[in-house]
Structure 1
Amino acid sequence: MNPAQHFQRYFDVCKADSRDSQEQAFRIRYQVYCREFGYEAEENCPDGRERDEYDNHSRHSLLIHKGSQHPVGCVRLVEANPLAPELPLPFERHCAAALDRHRFDPDEFLPGQVAEFSRLAVVAGLRRRHSDQGREINLPQQTLEQRQRRGRFPVIPVSLLLAALSMLMASDADYGVAMLDPQLAQQLRQFGIHFERVGKTIDYQGPRAPYLIHRDNALRYLRDGVGELFFEINRSLYQRPEFANPCAARA
Structure 2
Amino acid sequence: MKAVDIAEGHTLTAGYSVGRADLDTVSPRSPNAFEAVPARSAALLLEAHRLRYQVYGVENPFEECAERREVYCRDKDAAVCRACPNGVEVDDFDRHSQHCLLLHKPTRTFVGATRLILPRKDAPEKSFPIQEICQDPLLQDPVRFPIPLMGEISRFCISKQRRQQIAAMAAAAPDSPANRRDRPAGTDSLRNMKLGLIEGLVQSSIANGVLYWCAEMEPFLLRLLGRIGIYFDPIGPLVNYHGVRQPCMVRLSTLLTRVGNEHPDVWAVLTADGRHWDDLLKMERDLLPRPMRQPKENRACA
Give the structure-1-normalised TM-score. 0.72
Mapped to 1, the partners of 2:50 and 2:216 lie a distance apart of 22
Gaps of 5+ in 1: 1-6, 131-149, 240-251
Q: Which moved more, 1:163-172 or 1:216-225?
A: 163-172
Q: How far did 1:106 drift?
A: 4.1
Are 1:77 and 1:167, in contact at CA under 8 Å, matched by a contact in 2?
yes
Q: Which moved more, 1:208-217 or 1:78-87?
A: 78-87
Q: Deviations over 1:167-202 (max 9, x none)?
A: 223322332101111122122122121211112223
- Please name the residue that 1:205 is paired with: 242
Letter in 1 for 2:96: H
Q: Deviations over 1:67-89 (max 9, x none)?
A: 22011101100011234334241
Q: How far did 1:230 drift?
A: 1.2
Q: Does 1:12 align with 2:52?
A: no
Q: How far did 1:232 drift?
A: 2.7
Quick one: higher RCO (CA 8 Å, sep 6+), 1 or 2? 1
Q: How far did 1:159 drift?
A: 2.3
How many residues are treated as equivalent by the alignment?
Answer: 208
Q: Does 1:221 align with 2:221?
A: no
Distance 1:216 1:9, change over 3 A: closer
- Please name the residue that 1:169 is paired with: 206
SS at match of 2:257: coil
Mapped to 1, the partners of 2:42 and 2:131 lie a distance apart of 27
Mapped to 2, the partners of 1:204 and 1:213 lie a distance apart of 20
Q: Which moved more, 1:104-113 or 1:168-177?
A: 104-113
- Please name the residue that 1:3 is paired with: none
Q: Deviations over 1:95-139 (max 9, x none)?
A: 225xx43xx324534542321000111111355689xxxxxxxxx
Q: How far did 1:61 drift?
A: 0.9
Q: Does 1:231 align with 2:254?
A: no
Q: Does 1:186 align with 2:186?
A: no
Q: Which moved more, 1:150-159 or 1:115-124?
A: 150-159
Q: How far did 1:233 drift?
A: 8.6
Distance 1:54 1:151, change over 3 A: closer
Q: How does 1:104-183 map to 2 (within 5 A)?
A: 104-106=138-140, 108=142, 109-126=145-162, 151=188, 154-183=191-220
Are 2:35 and 2:196, in contact at CA under 8 Å, matched by a contact in 1?
no
Give the structure-2-normalised TM-score. 0.61
- Please name the residue that 1:43 is paired with: 82
Distance 1:53 1:70, change over 3 A: same
Distance 1:17 1:235, change over 3 A: farther
Distance 1:90 1:54, change over 3 A: same
Gaps of 5+ in 2: 1-29, 66-71, 73-80, 167-186, 280-302
RMSD (CA atoms): 2.9
Q: How far did 1:50 drift?
A: 0.6
Letter in 1 for 2:107: S
Distance 1:235 1:123, change over 3 A: farther
Work out which of the two has the higher radius of gyration on C-alpha atoms and give 1 or 2. 2
SS at match of 2:195: helix
Are 1:117 and 1:176, in contact at CA under 8 Å, matched by a contact in 2?
yes
Runs of 4+ aligned structure 1 residues displaced above 6 Å come to 233-236
Identity over aligned pairs, percent: 28
